[in-house]
Amino acid sequence: MRSLERASRAPVAPHAADGPRFALRFEEGLGRLVLARELPFALGIVDALELDLGPLRFPLDLSGGAGRFRTRRTRVRAARVRLDLPALLARLVEEPYGLAALAPAQGSLAFALRDAFGTVALDVEARFEGPHLRVVAHGARAVHDGPAPPLVRAVVAARALGLDYEEDRGAIRVERALSAVLREALVPHGWRVPDDRAVSVALEVLGPHRVALATRTDGDDLSRPGPAWERARALAPLVAHLAVGELAEARAAYAALVERGGELDARELGLSPPSGVDAVARCAALRAALREGDVDAAARAALALEQLEPCDAVAIEGLVAAAELAMRPRPALAGKLLERACERGPTEPANALRLVEVATRLGDARELARALELGRAMREPGADRAAFARDAAGLCELAGHRAEAADLYRLAHEHLPADGLVLEGLARAVEREGDLGASLDAWDRAASAWRREGDHEAEARALGAGARVARAIGDLAAAERRFAQAAVRDDRARHWAALAGVRRALDREEAAERAEDRLLAAVAREARLDEAVIDALEAATRHALAHDRVERARAWCAALRRARPEHAALEALEAAIEARDPTPPAAEPTPVADPASSPAAEPGAAVEDETPTTPPAAPAETSTESAEPEAASDAAGGRATTDAPAGTDDDGDALLSRAAATADPEARAALLDAARARFLEAGDAAGAARALARLGVLRRDTTMLRAALAAAEREGAKEIAREIVELALGVVGRGPARFALEAVRDRLRR
């Protein structure tokens, strides 16, 4: 029980008033301490405890009472400790794992293990052999295919939590379990841990949440272990190899198992065809149906599993997995499965959201109202119910149910008045109703909410939306202020394009050109551009031509060609430029006033330009106030220097080399992102995957690493895929995720 020792809390004062009280007794010259009353502690209650003090020398000074033996070596003669399983598991189990006790069956224990791949339900048999507790798991079952069979996932979790797996017996060993528990009860009060090696201990199952450890008077349990122990011993070599990813050795162990006639033992590992009608067989059948994409078979297996499975989490996961498979082809069937999942797990509001999504797809107003009512009933009134209303409103809005979405956003706003998503949804709802003033106010409050959370991208999104509403109202100055702040908060092409457009509408020509130059720099490093940005590139080209600024027009036209080679107006624009100046430049044109390199666009100048000089007329709780100079300098000056590396014409490999030689993490991230964009422009998806993987390592982002590995394998780039796996192994910790990566590495080596 090393994990329990590691997680122990710091001891309290040794003379705490709630400490143990012992009575001192003497028998034949030997001293004994007998617990005078129950001792509650963090993991349960010590009902009885008798400690042997050994021979004592007389005369004794008993002025300190039994407490004078606090640090003396003692031995356990008799003990009984009741343990609260939820408290014990909370102390023992750490993220990314979770472990919950289920209702026991026929005096045995059952647990639900949560790992990164879902829930594994398993039954457990435990017995003491001397002072050590040994546990075997059987009947392991799971809905989702992880990197290993359910039983192996349980063993991997046990090892990750510091428990020992006996590879010769297939049992998990907890060394000196009684002493480990007594340590939790006595050490915080300054008492030495007694020696339990001379006593025999038994485990009693008192209920779904309580067990007891008690000494035996009749010696060790000499009864023959049951079938689960024999099965665990037979599977032990195979499980041990699978748990550490030794696939070749596992195949040999499986062949030896089959040779001995152990196919039925291997069904728990999913290595033999499912048989029988128990929960293990139902889970195996469901996994097979999900792998094959058979909607009807998956639905039948999930419903059958739900009838047999005592673990709610596994039953619900089965129903939800079958519903997700049926979502597109059979939404009505998906709705029935999700309804059953909601009935089985009334504390799982995520399933109610899935049911709302199904109802929006079906387009049935009554079903949608019923799903919304069910979801609200599953959440406590107040913030929890408001959070459900917010999420459901997003689904309704996405499906075009705008009236329902507006009602839900208003309901959510009652309890979440400063939630950015709620305020954005409310702003869209009142804008559709024609109240542009209320919409503008909601967008401003949303921007303020995102600023408080430090989400600059979301703040810029809200500022940009508010600017569009202000422009629709006719207040171009207010629109300019918001677009400028959006560009400062989030240095993206779409914000600079919008800012350039509104400044040109205000006849602020010089300021518009500066915004266009920032736009050109942003376009050079972004792989995907909005249609509004493409339109802004075309407009800037035409404007430069109209004012006989051929070099500027050439730069904008080149940017348009890189961004959209098939643009309809491209040939006409290039012909107009050629007609004005038939002599092409020696190299591809660059921005006339690139803010990353031009002296006229130093950080201070950018702040002066992008921060409005006219103070906005806005309420105190808005985000249209002038941006702080420090934030503006970072976004308008420093970020441009970092995110727009000089030499934007470098190819992806050159940018990767520059990134490897760069010490500053932000600059390296910008170079890697630019390299990824260059590879994508060149049609080199494998190179883009390599750049994305290096960016994922820099940011320790496993989502990026998974996407990069998937892209490399999709392109058939085995060398790059191997490189990505090695990079990912340096990021992930211990557990099933590492096992999965090592399995991929072994597969790629073949």
The mean per-residue pLDDT over the stretch 703-714 comes to 84
- On the 0-12 / 13-18 / 19+ scale of CB atoms within 10 A, 416 is buried
The mean per-residue pLDDT over the stretch 449-459 comes to 92
Task: Answer yes or no: are the C-beta atoms of 537 and 576 closer than 8 Å.
Answer: no
Q: For 232-287, how does the pLDDT look when each residue is reduced to its tens digit (9 = 90+)?
A: 888 899 999 999 888 899 889 888 887 877 655 566 676 655 555 678 888 988 99
Task: Answer yes or no: are the C-beta atoms of 149 and 139 closer than 8 Å.
Answer: no
Query: In which band, very low, low, confident or very high, does the pLDDT at 467 lie, cut at 50, 70 and 90?
Result: very high
The full DSSP string for 52-95 is: EEEE-PSS---TTGGGGGTTS--EEEEEEEEEEHHHHHHHH--T
Q: What percent of the chain has pLDDT over 70?
A: 83
Q: What percent of the chain has pLDDT over 90?
A: 31
Query: In which band, very low, low, confident or very high, does the pLDDT at 497 lie, cut at 50, 70 and 90?
Result: very high
Q: Is the pLDDT of residue 109 over 70?
A: yes
Mean pLDDT of the chain, nearest integer = 81
Q: Is the pLDDT of residue 289 over 80?
A: yes
What token pair was written down for 655? Answer: 């940018």
- On the 0-12 / 13-18 / 19+ scale of CB atoms within 10 A, 465 is buried
Q: In angstroms, rounded to a whole number, what is the distance separating the alpha carbons of residues 648 and 653?
A: 12
Q: For 134-179, how does the pLDDT look when each residue is reduced to its tens digit (9 = 90+)?
A: 999 988 899 988 888 899 999 999 999 889 999 888 999 999 999 9
**Highest mean pLDDT (candidates 22-36, 256-270, 503-517):** 503-517
Q: In angstroms, rounded to a whole number, what is the distance separating the alpha carbons of residues 122 and 280?
A: 10
Question: What interhelical angle do 476-489 and 493-505 show, nearest 10?
Answer: 160
Query: Length of the chain, please?
Result: 750
Q: Is the pLDDT of residue 591 over 60?
A: no
* SS3 call for 24: strand
State whether the Cα torsion 545-550-551-556 is positive or negative: positive
- On the 0-12 / 13-18 / 19+ scale of CB atoms within 10 A, 255 is exposed
